[in-house]
Copies of this chain bind each other. A is one copy, B any other.
Amino acid sequence: MSQLEAVLAHIDADQPQALERLFALLRIESISTDPAYAESCREAAEWLVRDLSTLGIEAGTRDTPGHPMVVGHGQGPGPHLLFYGHYDVQPVDPLDLWTRPPFDPVLEEREHGPVIRARGASDDKGQLMTFIEACRAWKAVTGALPARISVLLEGEEESGSPSLVPFLQANADELKTDLALVCDTGMFDARTPMITTALRGLVGEELTITGADRDLHSGIYGSAVINPIRVLARLLAGLHDDDGRVTLPGFYDGVRDPSPELRAQWQALDFDEAAFLGDVGLSVPAGEKGYPVLEQISVRPTCEFNGIWGGYTGAGFKTVLPSQASAKVSFRLVAGQDPERIRESFRDTIRAGLPADCSVEFHPHGGAPATVLPTDDPAFQAARRALSDEWENEAVFMGMGGSIPIVGHFQNILGLNSLLIGFGLKDDNLHAPNEKYDLRSFHKGTRSWARVLAALAG
């Protein structure tokens, strides 16, 4: 039995204990965006420090103006790898749509096999533990890590990572390594592993429109006094045209269509648009006319409304004419788009469309350009082979619609490429009620990392 085979066997045998460890981490309510959960975020960081220390990785928490970073270093042969994950999770509202408490993880038997059900099961606690469990197995079987491994675990990924850039800048010398490993992405489908080689960027904006200086009675002031919900609705409605294109001036400047070669590769994947939409109860693509769904969700820039509120939103009816209305808006960016120019174009457009007497306040929520990674790098090729060994189908290189700003920051601040490998599935309910992670993702994900580490150390 080779060393790798022994490590894989150990992973198989240790699965019940690995699951217990993951459940312990999932029970910590580390919602980063809500200040009420700050103590839980610190608790999750400290849990990880203790766990990493058992693997020969000297780890500690590092304070930031927000939630702490976890940083650790472990010695080993071969290249110096920096693993990144995040221990914070999304809020759980609306809580009444969860079938069970979000921080009380269980293994549920489902048609296609057992799933781990909890907030963070997939994003990102389950994913980051696949890497840690792979390290644990290597250490248990061989007494040492298979490579020189540093770890950076963030606690603010779900709230715009406000402390990340300053932290990377202040600790660049300590964190400069040969390659970053990031486990916050998914499979192409349940049988096909994927290395994500392009990521969209993100600009988040919150805006609040104010009309009258206080809430008023709509029967007394209505019509004559401007209604900020009406203003907001009109401004948001103007951000897309009838073909689903974003109307901001300059929005598509620098955006190019994929090459015919790339399009041919994607066509070969035989992406099932009807199944993708049918999975969420829909049948008609809502994005830009003229682009297939796979391109709409991966390589086209978008504008989405993530939240809206104003006036009376409780039970019953209240004939209020509100003073304010607000929305959270985000833009997914592709190569060629500058986040700050998009932000300014958005703000200019809103300001220009504002009626007399209304004012607007903007609050930025993060901004990061899109990223493209070097698929011809030998490490990318080695990792692709290792993944293909573990799963039924050959691993694919693929662009991804979500934003992982860390990848751009690693490139810009540490001069580091990121190997993006993850085992999430499209039905994991990320950022939604009833998040889950397939037990198969957790188990074969751990085995995958054991193989990838061997391949990279190779």
A interface with B by C-beta (< 8 Å): 32-35, 90-91, 93-94, 97, 158-160, 200, 202, 204, 206, 211-227, 229-230, 232-234, 236-238, 240, 244, 276-277, 280-288, 293, 296-297, 300, 302, 304-322, 325-328, 330, 332, 355-357, 365-366, 400-403, 426, 429-434
CA separation between A233 and B332, bound complex, in Å? 20
Please list the 7 inter-chain residue pairs (A to B) with the smallest Cβ-Cβ separation, ordered nearest first: A219-B402, A33-B316, A213-B281, A307-B311, A223-B287, A229-B305, A226-B286
Between A and B, 19 residue pairs with Cβ closer than 8 Å are A33-B314, A97-B214, A204-B317, A212-B280, A217-B402, A219-B332, A222-B332, A224-B296, A229-B307, A230-B236, A237-B238, A282-B357, A306-B312, A306-B317, A306-B319, A306-B320, A309-B309, A313-B326, A320-B431
Minimal beta-carbon separation of A339 from chain B (angstroms):
14
Contact call A93/B312, Cβ cutoff below 8 A: yes
Report which residue of A216, A222, A401, A432 has the largest number of chain B beta carbons within 10 angstroms of its beta carbon: A222
Residues of B within 8 A of A315 (CB): 33-35
The answer to whether B236 touches A317 (Cβ under 8 A) is no
Q: Are B402 and A280 in contact (CB under 8 A)?
A: no
A429→B214 CA distance, assembly (Å): 8
- Chain B residues near A244 (CB, 8 Å)? 223
The interface residues of chain A, by DSSP majority, are classed as loop
Q: How far is the CA of A226 from the CA of B304 in the complex (A)?
A: 10
Selected from B321, B326, B430, the residue in CB contact (under 8 A) with A217 is: B430
Which residues in B have their C-beta under 8 angstroms from that of A330? 218, 317, 319
**Complex Cα–Cα for A268 and B315 (A):** 43
Contact flag A318-B223 (CB < 8 Å), given A97-B214, A213-B280? no
